[in-house]
A and B are shown apart, each in its own frame.
Chain A
Amino acid sequence: MSSKGNTGPVVGQRTFGGYLLSLLAWLVGLLFFFPVFYMALSGFKTEADANADPSLIFDPTMEQFNKVTADKPGLLDAAEAFANSAWIVAISTILCMALAIPAAYALSIKPIGKWKDVLFFFISTKFLPIVAAILPLWLIADYLDLRNTRLLLIILYTAMNLPLAVWMLRSFFAEVPKELIEAAQIDGASLRSQITSVIMPIVAPGIAATALLCVIFAWNEFYLAIQLNTSGASTVPIWVNSAVEFQGQFLAQLSAAATLATLPVVIAGWLAQKRMIRGLAMGAIK
């Protein structure tokens, strides 16, 4: 029996088509994961091994990790870069969610007039190529004495991620059954109680997913960080760039630095995924 015509594939159904689909899903998944895997692997190689023909068999070494994390006078320190990134990413993500959650509420559960236009305005700044904005941004930052500060990047990353966060959260909020909020109102719940006791637990997976994306985008942002910083608030992507000696062979070093830079995001992803797996509004209605 294969899934043909209008009988859609049923999850978990053991059919030939089903096996084929899972195989395909695994292949695509591995295809996406392979570069990350190969990068991590290359971090444990010597430069000679890394630059030789691609191979999965080699003598692992910590040499590159030691090299990139070693103290280099005059150059950006790994600990400082990670601390900067951690602060900037954490605060900008918290700010972003604190602003996006009420906005998403106002755009979905209690839609304000012309909410579709508002939603469009939110995303419109994303149409602007960041290169076009860098000169005014630099001038404003310089005028306000914010260059080389964590605060500047916190503000910029919050602004950068806010439209996306509002859009994503809006669609998660829109899935909260209307009757649940009505039931809470009739049960005498205040607006605050409706949001904290009824809406938030249901949209928690959505909030986790959105926050994860904000973390990833802010963590990996490079352009603004390097343009508006010479020192003081340099982030991990800048460290990756500066920790590697670009003389001679450097592929293994680069892989080691990039692997270290990736670790915090991987942990954030793992934490968020645990929340995301829980079903959205199971058992609420019918």
Chain B
Amino acid sequence: MAEVKYEAASRIYPGTEIAAVNELNLDIADGELLVLVGPSGSGKSTALRMLAGLEFVDKGSIYINGKDVTLSPPQDRDIAMVFQNYALYPQMSVASNMAFALKQQGIPKAERMERVKEAAKILDLEPYLDRKPKNLSGGQRQRVAMGRAIVREPQVFLMDEPLSNLDAKLRVQTRTELVDLQARLGVTTVYVTHDQVEAMTMGHRVAVLDHGVLQQVDTPRRLYSAPANLFVAGFIGSPAMNLIEVDRTGDELHFGSAAVPLPDDVRADLRASSSKRFVIGIRPEHLGQDQNGTACGVTVVEELGSDAFIHASMPHEGDEVTVVVRLDGETEIVRGDQLSIGIDGPVHIFDAESGARLGTPVT
């Protein structure tokens, strides 16, 4: 059990000028499941590998349980890692794979087998202990990789997209099992994924990275309701938030034909700002049919059963923009219908140039 701390940690690959991970500051509490999420090239895997000791830390420091491990080799960090491709030792049986780390620690064979059996029981791997990895299915291999990690009872679990090689149904099932397992074991876990749904459903907190820079770290709910900037607003949520660029008219912003209702703090920031262009962000569920709204033509209707996502073309600043509206699944709307769409919920305003959120800063 341990807390993890990144202190202005940077990784600059040799031969490149831009940092793959740029001055990352992150505090992870004991027993927390923190998810690092971002698109490819965001530096999330690099950040994890820095913590593992597999990637050199060019600047800054990393601490595990208060101990500076910045220069420690992976062997000395007491961490366990689950790789995206599992990296099972092909010539060893499932039991030997799981016992390998214990063997390295010089733990006697009887105790090793005891602990392997215990872990195998948790993961339903008991019938497969004598098999070789090549004789296992993808899901079983994934569980062996998990077993290899939990059998060690390490200070920290590191997981690098461990579910991305599973098919969709198994992935969702394993996701839940993993959350439950982590909660039961109470081991601090850093989990990397590119899938924002996985991040939102699994993380106690989620750290969003882009181009090596930490954009925001917060609980899933806060990330959704108060994104710190344009990138987080666009990345978190499916379907994505409607983001529409607008000019200002004094301290007013217009969405379609209607003025956007703005809270006082946003209006104050707007007045103080020197920018000319802003972005209005509205979640699909915060748009709805409204008598006083803007007339839009429906282009696509996506039926999900519980919900329906209406894609509609809205006249905006002499052009057309597509907005997505979430309605309940019972809707009768079809392509070609005309809808009057208005705002029905909170609105997020961002500076179009800096991407920063206007109004009360997100903490």
**Stretch of A120-128, A147-155, A194-202 at the chain-chain interface:** A194-202
Docked-complex contact B79 and A202, CB < 8 angstroms? no
**A15 within 8 Å of B by Cβ?**
no
Is A71 part of the binding interface, using a Cβ–Cβ cutoff of 8 Å? no
A35 within 8 Å of B (CB atoms): no
CB of B282 within 8 A of chain A?
no
B85 & A198 in contact (Cβ 8 Å cutoff): no
Write out, one digit per residue, whether chain A residues 179-203 have a CB within 8 A of any chain B CB (1) or not (0): 1101111111110010001100110
Indicate if A177 sits at the interface (CB-CB under 8 A): yes
B87/A285 in contact, CB under 8 A: yes
CA of A76 to CA of B77 in the docked complex: distance in angstroms?
64
Q: Looking at the complex, which one of B54, B80, B87 makes contact with A180 (CB distance below 8 Å)?
A: B87
Contact across chains for A182 and B75 when beta carbons are under 8 A apart: no
The reply to whether A190 and B133 contact each other, CB–CB distance below 8 Å, is no
Partner of B87, one of A179, A189, A201: A179
Query: Does B326 count as interface, using CB distance less than 8 angstroms?
Result: no
Q: Are B54 and A282 in contact (CB under 8 A)?
A: no
A281 located at the interface, meaning its Cβ lies under 8 Å from any Cβ of chain B in the complex: yes
Chain B residues positioned under 8 Å from A186 (CB to CB): 52-54, 74-75, 77, 79-81, 101
Decide: A197 and B87 in contact? CB cutoff 8 A. no
Interface: B141 (CB within 8 A): yes
CB-based contact B100/A202 at 8 Å: no
Residues of A within 8 A of B52 (CB): 182, 186
Q: Known: A182-B54, A201-B91. Contact between A286 and B83, CB under 8 A?
A: no
Q: Are B101 and A188 in contact (CB under 8 A)?
A: yes
CB distance from A281 to the nearest CB of B (A): 5
Contact A282-B134, Cβ < 8 Å, known A182-B54, A183-B81: yes
A57 → chain B closest CB, angstroms: 49
A201 to chain B, nearest CB (A): 4
Q: Kindly state whether residue B186 has any CB partner on chain A within 8 Å.
A: no
Q: Is B112 an interface residue (CB 8 A)?
A: no
Interface size of A as a range: 20 to 34
Contact present for B75 and A177 (CB under 8 Å): no
A-B interface contact total, Cβ < 8 Å? 85
B148 touches A187 (CB 8 A): yes
| A285 and B134 in contact, given A189-B104, A197-B100, A202-B91 (Cβ under 8 angstroms) | no
Chain B residue nearest in CB terms to A179: B87
Q: Specify the chain B residue showing the minimal Cβ separation from A284.
A: B90
B37 interface residue, CB < 8 Å from A? no
Instruction: With A183-B81, A186-B52 as known contacts, state yes or no: A284 contacts B74, CB within 8 Å.
Output: no
Q: Mark B79-117, 1 if CB is under 8 A from A, else 0.
A: 111010111111100000000110011000000000000
* Chain B: minimal CB distance from A276 (Å): 15
Partner of B54 from A185, A193, A279 at Cβ < 8 Å: A185
The answer, yes or no, to whether A129 is at the interface (CB within 8 Å) is no
- Is B165 close to A, CB under 8 A? yes
Chain A residues 186-227 with CB under 8 Å of chain B are 186-190, 193, 197-198, 201-202
Contacts of A179 in B (CB 8 A): 83, 85, 87
B83 and A284 contacting across the interface, CB-CB below 8 Å: no
| A188 x B87 contact (CB < 8 A) | no
Known contacts A284-B133, A285-B86, A286-B165; A185/B138 CB under 8 A: no
Q: Is A283 an interface residue (CB 8 A)?
A: yes
29 contacts between A and B (CB under 8 A): A179-B87, A180-B87, A180-B89, A182-B81, A182-B87, A185-B53, A185-B54, A185-B75, A186-B54, A186-B79, A187-B80, A187-B100, A187-B101, A188-B104, A189-B100, A190-B75, A197-B89, A197-B100, A202-B90, A279-B134, A282-B134, A283-B134, A283-B135, A284-B88, A284-B133, A285-B86, A286-B86, A286-B141, A286-B165
Sorted nearest first, the 3 A-B pairs with minimum C-beta distance are A283-B134, A283-B133, A179-B87
